């Protein structure tokens, strides 16, 4: 696909009298890796949930692949949802299902695939995230934090999505595991060409993946551009978020 995968127009979000987002407009082009950053309570995850249709904005429209994500037609909504995968912050694996069945779940929901085909696809997805067929027998409670992330990523990629949505993908991982997971996502994105939208507060994750950054502050998107362009924006939050020596070093590494 070419053109915009995501289009937000006039998105406003209110909970009672509290305004979270005020007239947000944002485009994400096919093949981009967009990182959404903002302070605590700025509404990053809320906006992510609106993008995938888990939450409806108070006003405005959200389109994926040219279709309203909450289109009144259930068939259109279903087709849109099959075109993206989501990796939740804690993995959100089904605790009562094995690794194999967690990954097979979205494939079985299609109700059109033979179990032999599903088995082959599950083993393929396990291999993509550098896990072995034997790991399919494990239960989520038997997995390390890094393995939970990989299984959740395999499930998110089960239907070969055009868009991958990530909420704090490296949260809870130690630096080495986080770096390996970032490299895995980057490798898969290059191989498969999907678009990525992610929320993260981790600068190393941002620097390792993002081709574009959108900064959410004061209920609006205050800056949107390449990492180098964002660093040139004179705004208090941007100075604070990217102002440390670690942040500058991470971003310089990205730009070199």
The pLDDT tens digits for 32-76 are 999 999 988 889 999 999 999 999 999 999 999 999 999 999 999
The reported pLDDT for the residue numbered 213 is 95
The reported pLDDT for the residue numbered 201 is 86
The helix or strand, by DSSP H or E, that contains position 181, with its residue range, turns out to be helix 175-192
Confidence of residue 88 (pLDDT cuts 50, 70, 90): confident
Q: Of 143, 145, 138, nearest to 176 (Cα)? A: 145
The reported pLDDT for the residue numbered 251 is 66
Is residue 142 within 8 A of residue 95, CB to CB? The reply is no
Q: pLDDT tens, 1-41?
A: 568 999 999 999 999 999 999 999 999 999 999 999 998 88
Q: Taken in order 109, 110, 115, 117, is the CA torsion positive or negative? A: negative
**pLDDT at residue 89 tops 80:** no
Confidence of residue 156 (pLDDT cuts 50, 70, 90): very high
Architecture of domain 4-255: 3-Layer(aba) Sandwich (3.40)
Q: Which whole number is the average pLDDT over 169-178?
A: 86
Least confident of 88-92, 112-116, 232-236: 88-92
The reported pLDDT for the residue numbered 152 is 93
Strand, coil or helix: 5: strand
CA distance 204 to 108: 36
The reported pLDDT for the residue numbered 202 is 86
The reported pLDDT for the residue numbered 252 is 61
Confidence of residue 146 (pLDDT cuts 50, 70, 90): confident
Confidence of residue 248 (pLDDT cuts 50, 70, 90): low
Task: Please report, to the nearest 10 degrees, the dihedral formed by the alpha carbons of residues 167, 168, 173, 178 taken in order.
Answer: 100
The reported pLDDT for the residue numbered 10 is 95
The reported pLDDT for the residue numbered 239 is 87
Number of other residues whose CB lies within 10 A of the CB of residue 227? 19
Q: pLDDT tens, 91-144?
A: 789 999 999 999 999 999 887 788 999 999 999 999 999 999 999 999 999 999
Statement: the pTM of the whole predicted model exceeds 0.85:
yes
């Amino acid at each position: 696909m070419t053109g915009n995968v995501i289009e937000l127009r006039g998105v406003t979000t209110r909970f009672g009298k509290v305004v979270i987002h005020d007239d947000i407009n944002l485009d994400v082009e096919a093949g981009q890796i967009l990182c959404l950053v903002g302070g605590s309570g700025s509404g990053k995850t809320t906006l992510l949930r609106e993008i995938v249709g888990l939450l409806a904005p108070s006003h405005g429209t959200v389109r994926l692949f040219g279709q309203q994500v909450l289109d009144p037609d259930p068939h259109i909504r279903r087709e849109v949802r099959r075109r993206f995968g989501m990796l939740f912050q804690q993995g959100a694996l089904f605790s009562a299902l094995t690794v194999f069945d967690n990954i097979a779940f979205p494939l079985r929901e299609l109700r059109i695939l033979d179990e032999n085909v599903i088995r082959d696809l599950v083993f393929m997805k396990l291999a993509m995230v550098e896990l072995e067929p034997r790991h399919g027998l494990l239960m989520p409670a038997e997995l390390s934090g890094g393995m939970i992330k990989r299984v959740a990523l395999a499930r998110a990629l089960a239907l070969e999505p055009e868009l991958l949505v990530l909420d704090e993908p490296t949260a809870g991982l130690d630096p080495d595991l986080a770096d390996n997971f970032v490299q895995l996502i980057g490798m898969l994105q290059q191989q498969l060409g999907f678009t990525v939208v992610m929320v993260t507060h981790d600068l190393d994750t941002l620097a390792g993946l993002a081709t574009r950054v959108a900064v959410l502050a004061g209920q609006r998107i205050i800056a949107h551009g390449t990492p180098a362009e964002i660093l040139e924006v004179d705004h208090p939050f941007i100075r604070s978020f990217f102002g440390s020596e670690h942040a500058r070093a991470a971003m310089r590494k990205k730009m070199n």
